[in-house]
Amino acid sequence: MIERLAKRTQGISPFYVMELLHRAKQLEAQGKDIIHMEIGEPDFATPQAVVEAGIKHLKTGDVKYTSAAGLPELREKISTYYQKHYSVTVDKKRIFVTPGASGAFLLALGASLNPAEELLMADPCYPCNSNFVKFFDGKARTIPVDATSRYQLTAAHIKQHWTKATKGVLVASPSNPTGTIVTPQQLEQAIHTVNKLGGCFYSDEIYHGLVYGENAPTALEFSDNVFVINSFSKYFGMTGWRVGWLIVPEEFIDATEKLAQNIFIATATHSQYAALAAFEESTLAELEQRRAEFGARRDFLYNALLRVGFEIPIKPDGAFYIYANCSKFTDDSYQFALDLLEAEGVAITPGKDFGNNEANHYVRFAYTTSIDRMAIAMQRLERFINKG
């Protein structure tokens, strides 16, 4: 008998948080107030100039395919953005506009990863990152990391874990779920190590811009021989528009172009036109205000969680997450999250969505809701813990 389900579907995990979300919706339907701190999506609306640019394009009625690599003027603007914000020069031929960072991962790994080949990545990490590897029948070798390396892979990790089956290394900075960024020195050393080994370096930079101290370095500051994955979703507030970008090493341009033609045709046209407005000065000013608000939220939540008794091994630098150790209260963080939702209507994400590295002792709080709402959540959380 033919086994009809593809083998890769067994390795790919569902998001455990979906069960929580499902239950949260049921509770909401019953009239219960749920505070959502599980959501990896900014609560701010898309900037007005971006929305207006989208509407303006739709009004032409002319929503045809763009070229597979994206609108030339958008690729140009992305290149200019790198020049202005990072002082790096990126040939726009290396830039591909994609259906979100998801599309960028599909192209980057599609162009470079064979079945059975391994990528090294940190544990904890965002589950999709390892699942993309499995999507191509590759192996995600997740390496336990902790606060001593800012939850990031270092050159030492890479040297230690590199085998004949290793194809490359994925670094995500700021990290989801820990919010930590890789330091410039760490990043430079990691890239040079991978380049010496002859592998591929993938830099997931989708939370760039959402940092509240030092800026996160881009891999492009240290080498052109890297894949960089980024998106308009997070900092630019364009989640539902599904538009991101991928930068590839020169030798991958032709293969990436072929793949993009075949697996996407093109990214949504109106989303691309809208994204052109994301780089306007007035939009960037608005986004900087939001960043300040996220920074204030981080500080509020960080202090509140410490006060309630969570351990946070390292203060997060960016994204909108705090990965908190709850071992003082439980050895089963998933059950903890379920019980917290049931008892107090606060939704958070269990550690096991991010790997196996002490996952039962961690939960992720997203500060994608207002400080006022988070303040109520903290009261509820405290009550829940004191009862337990």
Q: Footprint of its own copies on residues 42-61 (CB under 8 A)?
A: 45-46, 48, 51, 54-55, 58-59, 61
Q: How far is the CB of 306 from its own copies (least distance, A)?
A: 30
Cis peptide before 316 (omega within 30 of 0): no
Which of 147, 265, 296, 375 touches its own copies (CB under 8 A)? 265
Q: How crowded is the C-beta side of 251, counted as CA atoms within 13 Å? A: 5
Binding-site string for its own copies from residue 85 to residue 114, where x marks contact by CB under 8 A and - marks none: --------------xx-x--xx---xxxxx
* Number of neighbours of residue 220 by Cβ within 10 angstroms: 20
Query: CA separation (Å) from 181 to 185, 211, 322?
Result: 11, 9, 13
Residue 31 interacts with its own copies (CB under 8 A): yes or no = no
Interface with its own copies (CB under 8 A), residue total 74
* Cα–Cα distance, 58 to 228 (Å, whole number): 30
Stretch that binds its own copies, among 82-90, 149-157, 250-258, 297-305 (CB under 8 A): 250-258
The yes or no reply on residue 175 touching its own copies (CB under 8 A) is no
Q: Which is nearer to its own copies, 237 or 318 (CB)?
A: 237
**Sign of the CA dihedral 118, 122, 123, 127?**
negative
- Which CB sits closer to its own copies, 238 or 284? 238
- Is residue 186 part of the contact set for its own copies (CB under 8 A)? no
Footprint of its own copies on 62-81 (CB under 8 A): 62-66
Work out how close the CB of 295 gets to its own copies at its nearest, in angstroms, rounded to a whole number. Answer: 22
Site membership for its own copies, residue 262 (CB under 8 A): yes
* DSSP string for 9-51: HHHSPPPTHHHHHHHHHHHHHTT---EE----S-SSPPPHHHH
Per the DSSP assignment, residues forming a β-bridge with 325 are 311, 362
Binding-site member from 27, 255, 314, 371 for its own copies (CB under 8 A): 255
Q: What whole-number distance in Å separates Cα of residue 312 and Cα of residue 151?
A: 12
Q: What part of residues 133-152 is at the interface with its own copies (CB under 8 A)?
A: 135-137
Does 370 engage in binding with its own copies (CB under 8 A)?
A: no
Contact 72, 86 (CB under 8 A): no
Closer residue to its own copies in complex, CB, 30/114: 114
| Of residues 144 and 240, the one with the C-beta less far from its own copies | 240
Asked if 387 touches its own copies (CB under 8 A), the answer is: no
Which of 35, 219, 266, 278 is the binder for its own copies (CB under 8 A)? 266
| By CB under 8 A, residue 163 contacts its own copies | no
- What are 123's strand-pairing partners? 144
Q: Is 284 helix (H, G, I), strand (E, B) or coil?
A: helix
CB 243 within 8 A of CB 203: no
- When binding is defined by CB under 8 A, the residue of 87, 148, 198, 281 that contacts its own copies is 198
With binding defined as CB under 8 A, does residue 207 bind its own copies? no
Q: Of all residues in the chain, what percent are helix, strand and coil, respectively (each to 5)?
A: 50, 15, 35
Q: Is 35 in the site for its own copies (CB under 8 A)?
A: no
Q: Which long-range contacts (CB under 8 A, 24 or more apart) does 85-91 make?
A: 86/217, 86/218, 86/220, 86/221, 87/221, 88/218, 88/220, 88/221, 90/220, 90/247, 91/250
333 binds its own copies (CB under 8 A): no
| CB 146, min distance to its own copies, A | 26
CB of 373 to its own copies, least distance (A): 17
Looking at residues 113 to 132 of the shown chain, list those that interact with its own copies (rule: CB under 8 A): 113-115, 127-128, 131-132
How many CB atoms are located within 10 Å of the residue 293 CB?
A: 15
Answer yes or no whether residue 267 interacts with its own copies by CB under 8 A: yes
55 contacts: CB under 8 Å, gap ≥ 6:
none
Q: Is 253 a residue that touches its own copies (CB under 8 A)?
A: no
Mark the segment that binds its own copies (CB under 8 A) among 84-92, 211-219, 237-245, 348-356.
Answer: 237-245
Shortest distance (Å) from residue 269 CB to its own copies: 3
> Is 242 a binder of its own copies (CB under 8 A)?
yes
- Rounded Cα distance between 311 and 155, Å, is 27
d(CA 52, CA 119): 41
